[in-house]
């Protein structure tokens, strides 16, 4: 018997975009920091650190800027949160955008769960405006989107997955997560 799923739930970063984690290494090299320094700082306070709190929308940019600087300084190399957040820009993957269209075309429900930050102020650049328009165009193709910064829960917390299942009105057994 063939299993027929009713919905596909996508992660966003690293699936529809290049991995933001890859940017950590680029930033570290550019700044002369030790390899994996940033990831180590984030993992040290995975659930209660500045990065996690910013992704859950518990703090804004000003507080993230100061707290991330404090955490990185304590680990040996200060990085301002505002500077780091601006460096996290990623590129979209056209193949995944096409895959989303194919999934929708097959009649499946679609969901997106993403760990993200509250909106970072625009620098007024045409590239930033273009990227914002691209993001909105992708988001409109999902039936449901859950953004960590808007709901106060982030992956891998089970509640964010439960929220998506509730939004789709489906049991986990009817969904596949990519």
* pLDDT given at position 85: 85
* Correct CATH for 20-86 of 1.10.150, 3.30.160, 1.10.10, 1.10.530: 1.10.150
CA separation (Å) from 6 to 49, 58, 99? 36, 33, 16
Looking at residue 90, its pLDDT comes to: 86
Residue 94 tokens, joined: 């056209």
Q: What is the pLDDT of residue 21?
A: 84
Domain residue limits, the chain = 7-18+91-177, 20-86
d(CA 66, CA 51): 11
Asked if the domains at 7-18+91-177 and 20-86 fall in one CATH topology, the answer is no
User: The pTM is what?
Assistant: 0.85
DSSP state at residue 153 = -
CA distances for 145 relative to 67, 109, 110, 142, angstroms: 28, 12, 9, 7
Phi, psi of 156 (to 5 degrees): -100, 20
Q: In what order do the strands lie in the sheet with 7-11?
A: 144-147, 109-114, 7-11, 175-177
Backbone angles phi, psi at 121, to 5 degrees: -55, 140
Residue 173 has what pLDDT? 97
Segment-wise mean pLDDT, segments of 10 residues, the chain, 178 residues = 86 91 90 95 94 94 96 97 85 95 96 86 65 89 96 95 98 96
Phi and psi, residue 8, nearest 5°: -120, 125
pLDDT given at position 117: 84
Per-residue model confidence (pLDDT) at position 132: 81
pLDDT of residue 125: 61
Tell me the sheet residues that pair with 8.
Answer: 110, 176
CATH topology of domain 7-18+91-177: Rossmann fold (3.40.50)
Cβ atoms of 42 and 51 closer than 8 Å: yes
């Amino acid at each position: 018997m063939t299993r027929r799923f009713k919905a596909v739930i996508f992660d966003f970063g690293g699936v529809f975009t290049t991995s933001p984690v890859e940017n950590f290494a680029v930033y570290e090299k550019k700044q002369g920091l030790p390899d994996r320094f940033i990831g180590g700082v984030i993992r040290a306070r995975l659930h209660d650190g500045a990065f996690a709190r910013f992704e859950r929308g518990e703090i804004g940019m000003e507080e993230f800027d100061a707290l991330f600087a404090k955490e990185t300084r304590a680990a040996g190399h200060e990085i301002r949160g505002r500077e780091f957040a601006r460096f996290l820009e990623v590129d979209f993957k056209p193949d995944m955008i096409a895959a989303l269209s194919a999934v929708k075309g097959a009649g499946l429900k679609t969901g997106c769960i993403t760990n993200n930050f509250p909106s970072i102020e625009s620098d007024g650049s045409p590239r930033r405006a273009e990227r914002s328009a691209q993001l909105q165009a992708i988001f409109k193709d999902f039936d449901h989107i859950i953004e960590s910064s808007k709901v106060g829960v982030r992956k891998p917390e089970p509640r964010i997955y439960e929220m998506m299942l509730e939004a789709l009105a489906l049991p986990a057994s009817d969904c596949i997560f990519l």
